[in-house]
Amino acid sequence: MGRIIPVFIPHAGCPHQCVFCNQKTISGQKERGINAARAQIEKYAAWTKLSAENELAFYGGSFTALPMEFQEELLNLAEQYRKKGLIGNIRISTRPDYIDETILALLRKHGVKTVELGAQSLDDKVLAEAERGHTGAQVTEAVKLLKAEGFIVGLQFMVGLPREDWHSLKETLKQAIALKPSIARIYPLLVIRDTPLAESYADGKYSPLTLDEAVEQTFYLYQGLTENGIKVIRMGLQPDSELCQEGNILAGPFHPSFGELVKSYGYKLAIQKQIEELPVGKYEMIITHPPNLASIIRGMHKTNLKFWEADGRVKIKFREGPEFNTIIICHKDKNTI
């Protein structure tokens, strides 16, 4: 299994100031020139084994909106490390409205394999309110161009955007499934200092999702995407030292283990459904699971366990089983024992 070597180019190339964006805080990287990029790679190279499975990923700024000369300079830098054997593939993150044939030719020339698009939503009214500067149709067009040229395509989504509601979220999921990207990321919207959203929050014009609401909405997207063969590779922002500095996050559903909370919520719903389908009676339920899923299934501070046992119908025991992601649930009616 290879490693991702991240190179952050915060806000570089991006022609818009989205209401939620302060990339210098989100990425934890203040400099963005070629020397800063080289320094970031060298930091990871010092403790990363050479492997063709490693991937160098340009994150943060809108890569393809950079001047073409700087794009080529960064890609040439990446190729130097590929020749040294540190990496095998290159990944970029960019805007959907900065994808065209000229750009794709440059990416192909330098062996870029994966392109992630910051879609955030596919609802035009939500995109406009967030001041994204692109439409849902431009996301669709960019995905089509990338797939036609053989790139692996990723889409990034947010929950909790201004004017986003359940109807909007359902339509975004429906359209995302139709686009059939290979991978996706889902982030809850946070109120970061020094952003237009921070001003709206201070004026009482924007209310962020609660943590429970963000988990529920993220799980909705996660479940819908994964059930349709789209791999969700991350949920929640990376909790780096800069983002977590006191005063950077003003409000919103931040949690350092957000992705685990989402998966735990999914187990909560699935097992509760089985409990509700049992005939009237009291039951002993045994959940056999791989060791690595113990805390996720029980829930943080055993919240799932307490939820399942709240009405007194079941008494649950846990048993560690095989080292694979299969959950086996057995139950017996205590009234017949």
pLDDT in tens, 42-81: 999 999 999 999 999 998 778 999 999 999 999 999 999 9
The type of residue at 279 is P
Which of these three, 206, 221, 256, is where a domain ends?
Answer: 256
Task: Give yes or no: residues 15 and 157 share one domain.
Answer: yes
Task: Say what the pLDDT of residue 329 is.
Answer: 73
Task: Say what the pLDDT of residue 27 is.
Answer: 43
Task: Give yes or no: residues 19 and 55 share one domain.
Answer: yes
Tokens 């209401």, residue located: 19
Task: Give yes or no: residues 191 and 223 share one domain.
Answer: yes
Average pLDDT for the chain: 90
Task: Give yes or no: residues 245 and 307 share one domain.
Answer: no
Task: Say what the pLDDT of residue 14 is.
Answer: 67
Residue 294: half-sphere exposure toward Cβ, Cα within 13 Å: 9
Task: Give yes or no: residues 58 and 180 share one domain.
Answer: yes
The arithmetic mean of pLDDT across residues 210-232, rounded, is 98
Task: Give yes or no: residues 240 and 316 share one domain.
Answer: no
Residue-range definition of the domain harbouring residue 160 = 4-256
Number of domains in the chain: 2
pLDDT tens figures, 266-300 = 999 999 999 999 888 899 999 999 888 999 999 99
CA distances from 245 to 7, 49, 192 (A): 21, 31, 11
| CATH assignment of the domain containing 183 | 3.20.20.70
Task: Give yes or no: residues 242 and 120 share one domain.
Answer: yes
Global confidence as pTM: 0.90
Binned at pLDDT 50, 70 and 90, residue 33 comes out as confident
